[in-house]
Amino acid sequence: MDNQPYNPLHGLTLKNIVIELEAYFGFETLGKTIKIKCFTDDPSIQSTLKFLRKTPWAREKVEQLYIKNKIKIQNSFESNELN
């Protein structure tokens, strides 16, 4: 049985969240939105994941940004798939 039916992040990995945020916003905008070095100094998906897994407060900010923009991000990917 599904233990987290109302969790908006249920079924998503941190890697998928970061990839989708980077694809939608880009590292430059992410760095301006959430002031953390992994988005501004030589950013990469791998270095961002490493940092977020060790830094709960930063991970929380990234997850909240994703939740806040989830519909826009999903709509963006769906419209790109149609083109």
Pick the closest to residue 62 from 3, 25, 41, 11 (CA basis). 25
**Angle, CA 55 vertex, CA 10 and CA 72 arms, to 5°:** 45
| H/E element, 32 | helix 27-33
The domain ranges of the chain are: 14-82
Q: How far apart are CA 1 and CA 65, in angstroms?
A: 28
> Domain 14-82 adopts which CATH fold?
1.10.720
Quote the pTM value: 0.86
The answer to whether 45 touches 52, Cβ cutoff 8 Å, is no
pLDDT at 19 over 60: yes
- Which of the four pLDDT bands, split at 50, 70 and 90, describes residue 83? low
